[in-house]
Structure 1
Amino acid sequence: MEQPQLINQVFDAIDAINKADPNMELLEDIELPAALLYGTRMSSMLERFAPQAPEVVQIAARAQHIKRWAIPRSDYPTGKKGYYDWRQTLGKKHAEWTGEILASLGYDQQVIERVGALLRKERLKADPECQQLEDVICLVFLAHYAEAFAAQHTEEKVIDILQKTWRKMSDAGHAYALEQSYPSAVQGLIAKALG
């Protein structure tokens, strides 16, 4: 994936915002802002999964959790509707914040709108680029977050989430996911979820 100068400026701007995340996550004994770590994991996974991904997908992947901590899940009611409303709000705000960065760097309105549509998950399944982004989100969850999630929830809940994750993915995403190795606990739960 070629990284022209301008997209590096976009990444730097997204990362600068995400460095302010008060939520910290450990990576090899180093504490890092969670949103910053997530953004770099998204870019890294996209590079491996779809090295020819277009620039708009590269930007949306890096911005997937931009300033996410500013809209806590706890501000919304528990249950499916509260979760859905929270996710809808996040998508809109991620698109807005990323659009401001792109506009400041001279990107045209068409690119800004396209990145926004990807971050809002418009036409998921019908839009190959949106599906590519969704695959990367799912792959990052499996690679980096499923183990911690499994430790905090019942096996039944984890299997349900893994099945939902699998349904969101494309055939290409499935094939890539099955080639990866996971911690044994996660591997076993994936096998049960797909069995």
Structure 2
Amino acid sequence: MSDRLTRALALIDAANAADPKGEALVYGQRMTEELARLFPQASEVLQVAARGQHVERWLLPRSDYPEGKAGYLDWRREQGRRHAARVAAIMAEAGFPAADCDRVGVLLRKEGIKRDAEVQALEDVICFVFVRWYFAPFAAERDADSTLDIVRKTARKMSEAGRTRLLQEFDLPQPLADAFRAA
């Protein structure tokens, strides 16, 4: 691991350590673990993007945006822009060249999903982290139809290889597994 990568990850962790709920630091570490497991040859930029994917997410609460799908999508887009800018600044401070700082923005804004291998890898990692650590409590708060809808949306964002691997690694109930296969 290069000095600049070590420094960037430490700066992201320091930023996320300020999360009042204590969730951001753990989330970033889980993203790094899944990325290393799924894509062991990931570039330094992808490694930084994975760790910083939710950097300081709590600073822009969902409640600041209107209820409903449009408000949610506006909030998510703004989070992507904020994360991209914050992580690019951290990378610059850690000694990464400007091109890498620009590239991390592409990844975090998910520009080119399904067309850019690194953007898609990041999305697959996000989905694995969700299913591994957050899906069960998330599903417990929703009815079966809502849960199935979220599974369909998650599966559509993943690559075919990612969906196949997820089905091999997780024992999902049949309707949810079928939703992943159908995507």
**Shorter-chain TM-score range:** over 0.9
Q: Is the 8 A contact 1:18 1:35 kept in 2?
A: yes
Once residues 128 and 69 of structure 1 are traced to their aligned partners in structure 2, the CA distance between those partners, rounded to angstroms, is 29
**1:62-117 deviation line (CA, Å, top 9, x unaligned):** 00000000001110011111011101100110011111111112211100000011
Deviation at 1:192, TM superposition (A): 5.2
Letter aligned with residue 11 of structure 1: L
Task: State percent identity of aligned pairs.
Answer: 46
- Matched-pair contact (CA < 8 Å) for 2:4–2:95: no
Q: Does the Cα contact within 8 Å between 1:162 and 1:190 map onto a contact in 2?
A: yes
- Any conservation in 1 of the 2:80–2:108 contact (CA below 8 Å)? yes
Residues 27-176 of structure 1: matches in 2 within 5 Å? 33-176=22-165
CA–CA separation in structure 2 for the residues paired with 1:136 and 1:113: 21
Please state how far the C-alpha of 1:174 moved relative to its aligned partner: 1.0
AA aligned opposite 1:18: N
Asked if the contact 2:5–2:94 (Cα under 8 Å) also holds between the matched residues in 1, the reply is no
Q: How large is the RMSD of aligned CA atoms in angstroms?
A: 1.4
TM-score (ref. length: structure 2)? 0.94
Q: Distance in 2 between matches of 1:63 and 1:176?
A: 24
TM-score w.r.t. the length of structure 1 is: 0.88
User: What are the ranges of 5 or more consecutive residues in structure 2 without an aligned counterpart?
Assistant: none
Question: Any conservation in 2 of the 1:138–1:169 contact (CA below 8 Å)?
Answer: yes
Deviation at 1:187, TM superposition (A): 3.8
Structure with more of its chain in strand, by fraction: 1
Q: Which 4+ residue blocks in structure 1 deviate beyond 4 angstroms? A: none
Quote the offset at 1:122 in angstroms.
0.9
Q: Which amino acid aligns with 2:138?
A: F
Give the partner amino acid of 2:115.
A
CA distance in structure 1 between the partners assigned to 2:170 and 2:180 by the alignment: 15
1:16 aligned to 2:25?
Answer: no
| Partner Cα distance (1:4, 1:131) in 2 | 24
